[in-house]
Structure 1
């Protein structure tokens, strides 16, 4: 085989199969046999991600000087520049992804292992400043071994320098996204690769602070086979999604579409479909309503999202320990307007019910929901929450991970989010596990749903010493939509089958532009329980 012929073939780094180079390129650098994702150059990455003809390279060219006079550094720089055609390890510019404008910084591992030095830090910082100036999202594609040792502590300072630039993008109410590719380690992993709002990992990528070899040599710890892989990161709640390379442009485009705030909320219908008078609802036996609310055939949060919303992009993980599948969270559009959506997720079949823990969240689920809601508030996007849970999961691991703290944090923080919040109770609204998603400006209920301080069985067991009295407890607790509307706990009831789209659109239109959302929300909850309460200022209550 001649040299020219040899260049036409490339061996897969995963399965060692020999592929025709042009075929591998048509497969986006992904092996058609084992799906190993080969590394891309910065230019190749931009070509795959950015809409054709829209990328405009940044006008700034930063060339680092050897301030430390580190041995052989100048020679290494000259070699890297000659081999890559790049002045340093990042290529920046602006472009469009699925039609959405974005500022990009794309790292290139070929240039000294994609190491973070002063030039790289300066260029990524300028990309962030461009995002603020142009009012567009920032996308950083990482591929790096970490900070550049040849630049000493100045390289270390780039972690903070780029982070402050990301803080500026966040302060401007703009989205920051990190696309982690293989490999991403050290100072890059411990700064801008993980402090962006959304972290998506390319399939097969690895990320960590210290690499496996360093860990094993330093503390002699035996590591699992999947350590620091994309699937490991997802399972441990550290990233939002793991995607095949071919799916990245569409996913990113949907994310940008669902997080572009500022759209006005208006409704063309006078009737929002809600019942606001308790007398207009039939009086039904409470236990019959409980049974209906628990029916596994009822639509779940994901069912409602798929029918009422468009382009849902799910975000996962609490960024600390795990992802809780009993809560789904992310962004979507409602009639073309962005919304954040969080909700309890049960399921219909036994396998899904078990996988989703029957809709009973662990602390990680509440932290995930709060993370998405806080991002929505910063982006000025309204929040839609679906409640359907027997309650928060009462297991040992949930207590060890701070179940009470997680619920309390949601309840408190939702009073501080300066964006409209609408909650819909679609099935069971069980105790604090429900309230953690229901501190809202408007709370709506399905006609066949319930909302209670405790389950009827729990109430019966505690007060009557026998769970068999659950029907009687349900009637005493007054937990039906009709009764809660009468008590003023909910603002409206949706007759079933419910038109969520119309009701939610009308609610957001009503709340749109209100200047004192936080104050009104606090006043709403401040008033609960005062009706019928005998209060004496400075003396005993005369009952």
Structure 2
């Protein structure tokens, strides 16, 4: 006969659930799907590969720096928390493997004084990060906290800076860091190490923020949006990379870790077929306006289509971590030919609904900030970057101007000029204006046979210079926007041929050609050290409108102009 302990009540939908079923489901209610609380030990066990979990128990005593009392002395509250939880503090540290990748991890436990950040908790988080640094392995942090422990005052507050410094040291060492946000994560934890991982993952429904809803409502009497500070709310606004169900959390984190550390590279893909055309005479001449119409064909593969077909696996990462997740640019990490890679591209869609959802492939500033964040991630992890260009231009709206559209494009161009990893761009459709160039200042720039690249749309050029947008065909020819002309001008390094009838006629064949072209370019570039990559990239763009660049050219030119010698 079953006892009352065999059954539990879901705190969200109030359904009675068999306790063992709930445990097998990692605390997720089978009725409503909401994530119930887990202890720190349960979190680590859920993430760890079988028989790999090894707890770390450094001797970090708790202190009472303020001799604090709020009706009960602080030491007594600590003793009560220890007795209730069986833990010495609000965090548990361990070595483990996730998806075959060895890591060190720290998991917080809300049961222990609300998972508050004390001097001891800050020390344990920092020691865990320093262990990762010493052993050159990734760090995984699981957060659950109400904020800094008030009983320790400013000493607790200092842990925010201390843990942030530890995360920065891992950044400097190029080590992978992943933060898993669980419910709830607020205050000083949210405003320090929780948001400093290379990848920030949130559980469904997890609440996250600096000031909690009750504090906001009581302090400034502000009405809060529906679903305020939930994981889904944060994903939409670009603060987390992804929201992941518990059932696949270990698999998802394991895959991200393996990409970040370069595990799983097969090296068995064989040499890439050389498909890129580098001689303009091997390309048939085509009318520039016809090229424009083909480049805009809604049936052409989009970035998401190409990523699905050319990559071995792909995890999309969201957001600029500033407040936006522009749908006109998508990106993430995956593998190409078994090798880890970061990918970024414009996204349009194939029908009116898709076009509206992705703002017609015209990025807002948040899109370019997202691209920049992913490029910095590539630099830290030492991964090549692939960008796919297909845009009528950066979004020209009032909101974009207010958010600094010109600034973010300029910042991206500067960032790409110094990125220490290989950069390859393929223009797959339209490549218009600075909105295209902002992710195309690469080592190698390829264009598909029926794609275009131009400073402005033919219609825009015609309206300005011809005073008549109907003169767009003439403007297209004058601008020499087609692939053959661009190869002659040296603006692109090669042309990727398309299947008979164009890329829209055979997506699979088009993707196979693009995949082969990218693999061949990366094969050439990955043999170069970062200094040579950067020097060659800068020389590539230095030559437009001037002489071929040599190391002494700038100094000589400056001297000729009367500058300092």
Name the TM-score, length of structure 1 as normaliser: 0.95
Assess, with a 3 A threshold, how the Cα gap between structure 1 residues 443 and 219 changes in structure 2: closer, same or farther: same
Any residues of structure 2 matched to 1:42-441 within 5 Å, and which?
42-71=40-69, 72-261=73-262, 268-269=270-271, 271-441=273-443
Pairwise CA distance, 1:247: 2.3
Choose 6-15 or 253-262, whichever is displaced more: 253-262
CA–CA distance in structure 2, aligned partners of residues 390 and 92 of structure 1: 50
| Structure-2 change in CA distance of 1:122 and 1:270 (3 Å) | closer
User: Closer, same or farther in 2 for the Cα pair 1:435/1:264, shift >3 Å?
Assistant: farther
Partner of 2:507: none
SS of the equivalent of 2:162 reads: helix
- Could you say what the CA RMSD is over the residues aligned between the two structures, in angstroms? 2.0
1:503 correspondence with 2:501: no
Match of 1:34 in 2: 32
SS of equivalent to 1:320: coil
Residue matched to 2:505:
none
SS at match of 1:193: helix
Distance 2:561 2:140 in 1: 59
The DSSP-based 3-state class of the residue aligned with 1:63 is: coil
Change (3 A) 1:519 1:55: same
- SS, match of residue 231 in structure 1: helix
Q: Tell me the residue number matched to 2:502.
A: none
Distance in 2 (alpha carbons) for counterparts of 1:270 and 1:127: 42
Task: Name the CA distance, whole Å, in 2 between partners of 1:22 and 1:261.
Answer: 38
Which whole-Å deviations, capped at 9, do the CAs of 1:425-460 have from their partners, x for residues lacking one? Answer: 011101100000100000011101000000111111
Between the aligned partners of 1:501 and 1:153, the Cα distance in structure 2 is 55
Partner of 1:181: helix, strand, or coil?
strand
Once the 2 structures are TM-superposed, how far is the Cα of residue 5 of structure 1 from its aligned partner?
Answer: 2.2
Q: Cα distance, 1:270 vs. partner?
A: 7.1
Q: State the distance in 2 between where 1:274 and 1:268 align.
A: 17
**Which 5+ residue runs of structure 1 have no aligned equivalent?**
none
Aligned to 1:514: 528
Mean CA deviation greater in 491-500 or 469-478: 491-500
> What is the number of equivalent residue pairs in this alignment?
535
Q: 1:268 deviation in Å?
A: 4.4
TM-aligned CA deviation for residue 197 of structure 1: 1.7
Deviates more, 1:61-70 or 1:456-465: 61-70
Q: Distance in 1 between matches of 2:165 and 2:361?
A: 39
For residues 270 and 38 of structure 1, the distance between their equivalents in structure 2, rounded to whole angstroms, comes to 49
Aligned-partner Cα distance in 2 for 1:11–1:224: 29
Q: What is the 5 A alignment of 1:469-480?
A: 469-480=471-482
Q: Residue 272 of structure 2 contacts residue 519 of structure 2 at CA under 8 Å; is this kept in 1?
A: no
3-state SS, counterpart of residue 3 of structure 2: helix
User: What's 1:523 paired with?
Assistant: 539
Q: Is the 8 A contact 1:136 1:174 kept in 2?
A: yes
Structure 1 residues 518 and 7: CA distance shift in structure 2, 3 A: same
1:265-313 per-position Cα deviation (integer Å, ceiling 9, x unaligned): 8984374211000000000111111111111111111111111112211
Aligned-pair CA distance for 1:120: 1.0
Q: Deviations over 1:55-108 (max 9, x none)?
A: 111141322122322222111111111221211011111111111222111001
> 1:237–1:321: 8 Å Cα contact kept in structure 2?
yes
Contact 2:10 2:16 in 1 (8 A): yes
Secondary structure of 1:419's aligned partner: coil
Structure 1's 265 and 362: CA in aligned 2 closer, same or farther, altered over 3 A? Answer: farther
Question: Is the partner of 2:27 in helix, strand or coil?
Answer: coil
Shift of 1:325: 0.6
Measure the CA separation in 2 of the matches of 1:316 and 1:304: 18
Distance, in Å, in 1 between the alignment partners of 2:229 and 2:272 is: 54
Distance 1:111 1:59 in 2: 17
2: CA distance between counterparts of 1:124 and 1:20?
A: 35
Secondary structure at the counterpart of residue 508 of structure 1? helix
Aligned partners of 1:43, 1:268: CA distance in 2, in Å? 44
Cα shift at 1:373:
0.3
CA contact (8 A) 1:258 1:331 kept: yes
Shift of 1:337: 1.1
Query: Alpha carbons of 1:153 and 1:302: their partners in 2 closer, same or farther (altered >3 Å)?
Result: same
